[in-house]
Amino acid sequence: MPLDDLAEGFFRGLFRFLVSIFVEVVIEILIKGPGYFIVKACSSNSPDSDSLRVVLVGILFWVLIAIGGFSLYL
């Protein structure tokens, strides 16, 4: 039925929108944010916020936070 197709399209678009917001928050803020500040503090020049180094340092930061939190838990 046309109404079912319309509702399905609406919910599919809504789901894509929510997923894109989630990915934007996780990647841009939670990973690249700490990575950028750590690389900026450790280097003499301003790093590119889209560089692989910033992303890897951001992931490493959260891995170390998780390991530290887990070790404090035990």
Reported as a single tens digit per residue, the pLDDT across 5-51 is: 777 888 898 999 999 998 888 888 888 999 999 999 998 888 888 88
CA distances for 44 relative to 9, 37, 41, 47, 60, angstroms: 50, 12, 8, 9, 21
Q: Give the residue from 65, 70, 59, 7 showing the smallest Cα distance to 30.
A: 59
The band of 68, judged by pLDDT with boundaries at 50, 70 and 90, is very high
Contact criterion met (CB below 8 Å) for 31 and 58: yes
d(CA 71, CA 10): 45
Give residue 34's pLDDT: 92
d(CA 15, CA 58): 27
